[in-house]
Structure 1
């Protein structure tokens, strides 16, 4: 629509409204307003358009004419701010669309299912605190009697964390030769992370290999939240031993390997600090409290344990999830 056509349409609309005041003219005005917004017509230009049309139909008193000058000056600043708002809103919509694509891609990095393993009951839960998660997990088949189990927490959130997650996933795929040796796997991953992420970031991780024929779990830890080990014979829950520098903090870090021998009914739990670091009432959750909650659920199947614990902690923390919550539970059943 040209300037002349716009002026003609506005004149006709204003005259019709002045003569009849019909509500259908208000609807037409709303549609014209939407068109003006879509075509980025400035508010001060609309005021000039209105004054020109008004002068064509009525004798505008001088004070009213002068008042339009004041309104125009106000609308100039308003128009600048409004156009900036539209620009930022469009950029926000574009960013949200890109984040949705990134979230979908992030989901493809995580396992779609847990492998069936003879003699094991496995439960897994991972809930992001925001759209994009900073937690990585995987349970995968290495060979007939060997499962790989990984839990990692990327310090940070959003797109940088998602990029780091993809790096961990594909680095592990490329380091498959070391998958049976947890300490060496972490050493190799540390080299990849140290070379490829910003110095302000790092990644904590626990990685292990579970031998389903001997029910032996060998693992190594890189600055990660300690897991739990439940022994059915004593009915006690203890912290999993293990320490080491987080990935990316120091070149050529060396990691120690640990080994557990699981008896029938024994259970190990790997988790991220989003499980433990939350406020409950007027205090932060104590590890002793978490242990009690786990023991209350210990007789349930592993998937029910992780699901029920998540719901309980969510209720206790007033349905606030300040960090990503990831937990893997593995029990020997035979």
Structure 2
């Protein structure tokens, strides 16, 4: 009987033990669930703060400061700092909150020289940079793996300071990565509750660092897109302004017909053509090309056109006009930039054209002779590019060349974007092909000449893109 009673008691105790173990297990599971839920909520709130930080845009340092503030709120740390990776592969503190201890030993005599300890620490952290592998920050940056030091006062890797408020009790350092590329290093120190960071805290900081990497990448991508949109708008505006500089109509003439075409390789370019009446009997025609392409070339070309219009009113010699332009622009131009330009003055009364050329492509003259023979010849004249040499040298080389320009004659001015257009084999269109094209088209109108040249260049190049600005103008004597 006694043995039966003992057996029942042992059985009940065993059942109670199983029940107690299951209850403890359920309690642990609930606690783990609560911890996971808390961590999830912290990460969600942190992500919300990251979105706000990214949305502020513009100021990268301010964005990192918001990130640090969110990290402190999320982890319960007393201080935090983020060290950004710089182009020279060093790490520099970009944002700090709280009394984050410097990662190098401090000289005892300088800590009292600043108004506040916080200001002192911020200046130290933002002034110093750390190499890859140097100290805890550099080690984490180099390895790409987060580090938890629960009891920092027993770890020789941790820099400790005599000032008790700067001593590190516990620290977590995590790399901020995006697709394996290091962006920064996030460090948090000393939980507010006075205890050590736990594995749960460590997991949380790793998650936060991952979100920081995504946030910084998105911010960079967003700022890049914003800057691109601004640049696109500026370029579009510059392109519209440049279009306004080109003549919308040619001077009326019973003897002459004009046709022109200008296509920049990019949205804006460094080519220019201009046709303008000097008086009732003379017309000025110019084609110019600035070395390079883009905004700087277009600005320089606009200045050149302004000078051309101005000096053409003062001089009736093309060479004197180009000399005046060179004198006005050479000192202010960048050393790596220059302008080639050909300027012609057509006299309707004498039916002559006077041409000066500053390093530009040779104009082509379609000459119809009295016996019906046709020749296409380059109009040769000496001259160096504007901005390439000082006036005393430029003026010695520039000269005027005069040609008869009678009935059925034609003149073609162009930039090297025409002759240097290439096909798929890398072969240039060349001045020889252009001369042949003009010989075949010279009987037509000015527009026929321009259209025929463009068609010939396009057929020659095929699907190869336009590498340079392309400009040409044809003048046909009726």
* TM-score greater than 0.5 by the shorter chain: yes
Which one of the candidate residues 244, 248, 273 is aligned to 2:383? 244
- Counterpart secondary structure, 1:284: coil
- 8 A contact 1:267–1:329 mirrored in 2: yes
Segments of 4+ moved more than 4 angstroms? 33-46, 63-69
Superposition map of 1:118-157 within 5 A: 118-157=254-293
**Distance in 1 between residues matched to 2:52 and 2:346, nearest whole Å:** 64
The DSSP-based 3-state class of the residue aligned with 2:330 is helix
> TM-score w.r.t. structure 1 length?
0.79
Q: Report the alpha carbon displacement of residue 280 of structure 1 after superposing the two structures with TM.
A: 2.5
Query: Does structure 2 conserve the Cα–Cα contact (< 8 Å) formed by 1:141 and 1:147?
Result: yes
Deviation at 1:270, TM superposition (A): 0.7
Q: Name 1:263's counterpart in structure 2.
A: 406
User: Runs of 5+ in structure 1 lacking a partner?
Assistant: 1-10, 15-32, 50-62
Is the contact made by 1:272 and 1:326 (CA closer than 8 Å) also made in structure 2? Answer: yes
- Map 1:94-243 onto structure 2 (within 5 A): 94-233=230-369, 234-243=373-382
Q: Which runs of 5+ in 2 are unaligned?
A: 1-36, 41-49, 58-62, 75-198
Counterpart secondary structure, 1:178: coil
Instruction: Give the whole-Å Cα distance in 1 for the aligned partners of 2:227 and 2:286.
Output: 37
Contact 2:412 2:472 in 1 (8 A): yes
Offset from partner CA, 1:157-205 (integer Å, 9 cap, x none): 1111111112112112322333421010011011012022111111000
The equivalent position to 1:307 in structure 2, one of 438, 451, 476, is: 451
Q: Report the counterpart of residue 277 of structure 1 in structure 2.
A: 420
Name which one, 1 or 2, has greater alpha-carbon Rg: 2
Assess if the C-alpha contact under 8 Å between 2:262 and 2:472 holds in 1: yes
Q: Which has the higher contact order (CA 8 A, sep 6+)?
A: 1
Contact kept in structure 1, 2:429 and 2:457, CA below 8 Å: no
In the alignment, the residues of structure 2 paired with residue 39 and residue 201 of structure 1 have an alpha-carbon distance, to the nearest angstrom, of 40
Superposed displacement of residue 35, structure 1:
8.8
Are 1:133 and 1:157, in contact at CA under 8 Å, matched by a contact in 2? yes
- Residues 437 and 452 in structure 2, CA contact (< 8 A), matched pair in contact too: no
SS of the residue aligned with 2:251?
coil
Q: What CA distance in whole angstroms lies between the structure 1 residues aligned with 2:378 and 2:224?
A: 49
CA RMSD of aligned residues (A): 2.8
Summarize deviations over 1:125-144 as a string: whole Å, max 9, x none: 11111111201111100111
